[in-house]
Structure 1
Amino acid sequence: MMSFFSLTSERIAVVTKNRTYRYCDIPCMEFDSPSKELIVILCENTIEVLGAYVSAVNSGHATMLLSNDMNRDLLADLLDTYKPKWIVGLDAFEGYAWQKDKLVRAQDISQVIHKELAVLLSTSGTTGSQKFVRLSYRNLKANAESIITYLSIDASERAVMNLPLSYSYGLSIVNSHFLASASIVLTDESVMAQSFWSLVNEQKATSLAGVPFTYQMLQRIGFLTMDLPHLRTLTEAGGRLPVKLVELFADYAKKHDKRFFVMYGQTEAAPRISYIPHDRVLDKPGSIGIAVPGGELSIDAETGELIYYGPNVMMGYAECLADLANADEMHGVLHTGDTAVMDDEGYFTITGRLKRFIKLFGLRLNLDEIERTLEKEFHIAVACVGNDDKLVILVEEESAVEPVKQAVATLYKLHRTAYKVKAQDIPRLPNGKINYVAIKETSV
């Protein structure tokens, strides 16, 4: 097959704190086999891992991207389940031998992998699930080209890449910029570190991507007063950013001649589904915008579910090795699981999750809506979980517990035995999203 990424250019591809790499300098790995095999890469934001990913996709084999810091027992279960031919980023594993720069399976096994399968990404973000999204080369290319179009990415762009490569948002930054012959500044440092901002300025980074938690941190560290003359574009995805912060960063961008894009997506769509054009964010701060180029959105008339249609919709899920042989089961249609409404200009707003509803004393409650209402009222982080017996609300400040209790009683007319409000740190996944599973395990 033709290589997905071109690695012949003399243009700058990657900048790290230690070195600059042209496309032709990216360190490649060999994955040589007469039949299509599975490669597992344990991801860190290093040039070696990035080179392994680029080589893996160009090889025509299928690549499973996992976080390097995932639990080793869970990793062992995954490796036993999927039996990859090669493992990058692990020193030893039973049944594998070290060969130059990776582990190689000692025994040949009979397996069939669909010719179009390119990348496998975890559905949960927790890296512990054995359920993966199956993305084809077409899925990756279609979404990358769509992102290039609406963000106007050209070869002059230099994006900060500090999101995990195993996270679909981070992966899309690499894919879109490499396909546009642009550059990335590769780092694993946090936006909280002064050295991160030194790198951003020294390397003249032009864009910064973040999840909601990133933007909460940016506000706290005084980002809005920083001198960042080369930074032209801010993008936000990976979860709902409170309207107050959307307006704050959109206003900042407008005043400083920058662009702020609010985006919506799912791993199942490789991952981008919609965006708000940067010049409309202040007009539509609570929405997810319009479909990305090449895609379409509609709302199911009966359930209110948001449905996406596009060439970036996954082939389907995999839960075992045999599933890697399956062809496209989705046919370009993704039921998002989110409920939404559309305004008269065709902009969509998420109203909740189909599965994020509970019923207390006959009252149907939308947990996402409760979160949004309380966040807007008190300007604090809020997480809601529950079942049909009890609503649990987490806040991170003890001083907010009583006011939130009173607000819930007033707004939703719930008896005090039907809900509780707790002050504690809200657990988050590596990608910054709220870890509702962890909250339910300890609080409900």
Structure 2
Amino acid sequence: MNIFDYLFDSTKDLEKDFLLGSKETMSFKKLYNDSLKIASYLKKTIGENKNILLISPNSVFFLTAYLGVIKSGNICIPLNFVIEQSNLDYILNTTESTTVFIAKGLKRKLNFGNNIRLIDEDESLGIIDNQQLVEFNSDFNKNRVAEIIFTSGSTGEPKGVMLSHQNIIANTTSITDYLKLSSNDIMAVVIPFYYCYGLSLLHTHLKVGGSIVLNNSFMFLGTVINDLKNYKCTGFAGVPSHFQILLKKSQSFKTTEFPHLKYVTQAGGKLHTVFIKEFIDAFPTKKFYVMYGQTEATARLSYLPPNLVKTKTSSIGKAIPDVELKVINDKGKEAEINEEGELLARGENIMLGYYKDKIETRNTVKNGWLYTGDIAKIDEEGFIYLVARKKEIIKVGGKRVSPKEIEAVILSIEDVVDCTITGFDDDLLGEAIQATIVLRSKMDEDKIKEKILQECSKNLSLYKIPQKVIFKTSIEMSSTGKKLK
């Protein structure tokens, strides 16, 4: 089954609004029909099994393009709309994409060359107005690739996570099950859809006949608070920095009544216990779901039931329905109680592999088990606790950042001999970035710091720019010759 047909199985004729908000609204029926028009156009003009990029903030345009691409039998590649040109060039070259759905406001900021077909909001509307529907094969292989989500790789180059139609169906079913979602649910969405967490909100609420409210202006906290109240949202989903900013930066959040809000979900990194406690103390009647997942697992792997948040506060809970989790030690054996080891996952939500990277795929998925790269332990009651990250990826406000990408930019400066990028705890972002620099010779550190930050600003997105720059006189190494972090 195509994921499109699964999602609209019982909702395609609903006149009810799926999308709510002050800027755009859209019913299930119109979203279904408009997406079919886009799918028909793509199937007729470019065929199937092509890689199609989608670069846009959350919007009606994103929804219709995303669903249309997937229904057409092509592969959707949603990208961060503040992507650096170098990463875009790499992805265009790697995927050999020749068609890009792109928001009008982004067209002048990025270069695509002459052989790329760009489809913006205006052209999309023209397709919807004029395209006749075509026939789609009902005998659809659910194990075909539906989308590729690019994440920061350990080498600095983005890695394309290939997710099948069945991966998305399986994870969506599991999430709607444990959250007990229904057509009465209304989710406030501040997480972008190019991120697997954001897409899971889209998939689950579309499936159950619920609604979503899009807010692309989280830093204007008043708009988030107003949306929760005005649209009678029953749910809110955030990464650690969202909760930390609401709790620490908003004057009124903790004292505002949200009579319709039933629950919140948190994933995308560890939210420190102090913030969880602060939230549940302020909102004792709201359910707080701590969740854990990876893009390689479509979205979700585990959750902690709200009734255990006070007693198992630092745990990521247990596996979601239809997923198995275990911890293996350094000897490759299943770990004992409270013994640390790598967390492994198995289920129909585990990715097909990394795009054009068989070696990394073999290193990450072995005998059907996803090696998460996270160090964990399991207590005597079966609850899982993350101890550390095996991989070096830093999560800034829920966004994955490769240290090597930043190091490469700073090391391009002539006076810099060495650069080490690490993460440090930050009350708002969860983690922030620190650059430790070794200079060629003694020089004015303030001037070189300014030069480093200027170079980062030119080549990196804002969230990848170091918040701390410190200087050392020599490279620190371990006894094996490895650079210490």
Q: TM-score, normalised by structure 1?
A: 0.74
Q: Tell me, in whole angstroms, the C-alpha distance in 2 between the residues paired with 1:84 and 1:390.
A: 34
Q: Tell me, in whole angstroms, the C-alpha distance in 1 between the residues paired with 2:93 and 2:191.
A: 28
Deviations 1:380-403 (A, max 9, x none): xxx9xx9xx999785779xxxxxx
Compared with structure 1, are the counterparts of its residues 25 and 134 closer, same or farther at alpha carbon in structure 2 (3 Å cutoff)? Answer: same
**Residue 114 (structure 2) aligns with:** 94
C-alpha contact (below 8 Å) 1:265/1:272 kept by paired residues: yes
Cα displacement (A) at 1:18:
2.7
Q: For residue 134 of structure 1, give the secondary structure of its aligned residue in structure 2.
A: strand
Q: Tell me, in whole angstroms, the C-alpha distance in 1 between the residues paired with 2:181 and 2:142.
A: 31
Cα displacement (A) at 1:17:
1.4
Q: For residue 42 of structure 2, give the secondary structure of its aligned residue in structure 1.
A: coil
Compared with structure 1, are the counterparts of its residues 12 and 34 closer, same or farther at alpha carbon in structure 2 (3 Å cutoff)? Answer: same
Deviations 1:211-232 (A, max 9, x none): 1111110111142211111111
Q: Tell me, in whole angstroms, the C-alpha distance in 2 between the residues paired with 1:18 and 1:200.
A: 15
**Residue 277 (structure 2) aligns with:** 247
Out of 339, 353, 363, the position equivalent to 1:316 is 353
- Does residue 342 (structure 1) correspond to residue 378 (structure 2)? The answer is yes
Deviations 1:306-334 (A, max 9, x none): 111111010111147x99xx9x9666421
**Residue 154 (structure 1) aligns with:** 182
Deviations 1:80-128 (A, max 9, x none): 22122421006464213456339x9xxxxxxxx99610111112299x8
Out of 13, 17, 32, the position equivalent to 2:18 is 13
Cα displacement (A) at 1:273:
0.6
State the AA in 1 paired with 2:124. D
**Residue 375 (structure 1) aligns with:** none
Q: For residue 135 of structure 1, give the secondary structure of its aligned residue in structure 2.
A: strand
C-alpha contact (below 8 Å) 2:152/2:158 kept by paired residues: no
- Does residue 84 (structure 1) correspond to residue 104 (structure 2)? The answer is no
Q: For residue 64 of structure 1, give the secondary structure of its aligned residue in structure 2.
A: strand
Q: Tell me, in whole angstroms, the C-alpha distance in 1 between the residues paired with 2:422 and 2:221.
A: 34
Q: For residue 69 of structure 1, give the secondary structure of its aligned residue in structure 2.
A: coil
1:397-408 to 2 correspondence within 5 Å?
none
Compared with structure 1, are the counterparts of its residues 152 and 191 closer, same or farther at alpha carbon in structure 2 (3 Å cutoff)? Answer: farther
**Residue 45 (structure 1) aligns with:** 58
1:50-199 to 2 correspondence within 5 Å?
50-89=63-102, 91=107, 93-97=113-117, 100-101=123-124, 116-124=144-152, 129-190=157-218, 192-199=220-227
Cα displacement (A) at 1:350:
0.6
1:197-236 to 2 correspondence within 5 Å?
197-220=225-248, 221=250, 222-236=252-266
Compared with structure 1, are the counterparts of its residues 125 and 238 closer, same or farther at alpha carbon in structure 2 (3 Å cutoff)? Answer: farther
Q: Tell me, in whole angstroms, the C-alpha distance in 2 between the residues paired with 1:329 and 1:350.
A: 20
Deviations 1:57-97 (A, max 9, x none): 22221111101111123213321221224210064642134
**Residue 264 (structure 1) aligns with:** 292
Cα displacement (A) at 1:21:
1.4
% identity of equivalent residues: 28
C-alpha contact (below 8 Å) 1:52/1:88 kept by paired residues: yes
C-alpha contact (below 8 Å) 1:288/1:350 kept by paired residues: yes
- Does residue 351 (structure 1) correspond to residue 364 (structure 2)? The answer is no
Deviations 1:205-251 (A, max 9, x none): 11111111111101111422111111111110000111111222233
The total of aligned residue pairs comes to: 372
Q: Tell me, in whole angstroms, the C-alpha distance in 1 between the residues paired with 2:86 and 2:165.
A: 30
C-alpha contact (below 8 Å) 2:98/2:117 kept by paired residues: no
State the AA in 2 paired with 1:101. S
Compared with structure 1, are the counterparts of its residues 300 and 140 closer, same or farther at alpha carbon in structure 2 (3 Å cutoff)? Answer: same
Q: Tell me, in whole angstroms, the C-alpha distance in 2 between the residues paired with 1:346 and 1:115.
A: 32
Compared with structure 1, are the counterparts of its residues 64 and 248 closer, same or farther at alpha carbon in structure 2 (3 Å cutoff)? Answer: same
Deviations 1:25-65 (A, max 9, x none): 22432322443211110031111111111112222211111
Unaligned runs of 5+ in 1: 105-112, 358-366, 369-382, 398-424
Unaligned runs of 5+ in 2: 128-140, 332-340, 396-402, 408-418, 428-452, 472-484
**Residue 403 (structure 1) aligns with:** none
Compared with structure 1, are the counterparts of its residues 298 and 356 closer, same or farther at alpha carbon in structure 2 (3 Å cutoff)? Answer: same
C-alpha contact (below 8 Å) 1:315/1:330 kept by paired residues: no
Cα displacement (A) at 1:279:
0.7
Out of 3, 20, 31, the position equivalent to 2:42 is 31
**Residue 274 (structure 1) aligns with:** 302
Cα displacement (A) at 1:4:
4.0
Q: For residue 174 of structure 1, give the secondary structure of its aligned residue in structure 2.
A: helix
Q: Tell me, in whole angstroms, the C-alpha distance in 1 between the residues paired with 2:142 and 2:114.
A: 26
Deviations 1:263-315 (A, max 9, x none): 01111101101000011111100111000011111110336111111110101
1:295-444 to 2 correspondence within 5 Å?
295-302=323-330, 304-319=341-356, 332-355=368-391, 394=424
Q: Tell me, in whole angstroms, the C-alpha distance in 2 between the residues paired with 1:123 and 1:396.
A: 22
Compared with structure 1, are the counterparts of its residues 179 and 331 closer, same or farther at alpha carbon in structure 2 (3 Å cutoff)? Answer: farther
Q: Tell me, in whole angstroms, the C-alpha distance in 1 between the residues paired with 2:392 and 2:118.
A: 46
State the AA in 1 paired with 2:69. A
Q: Tell me, in whole angstroms, the C-alpha distance in 2 between the residues paired with 1:355 and 1:34.
A: 39
RMSD value over aligned CA atoms?
3.9
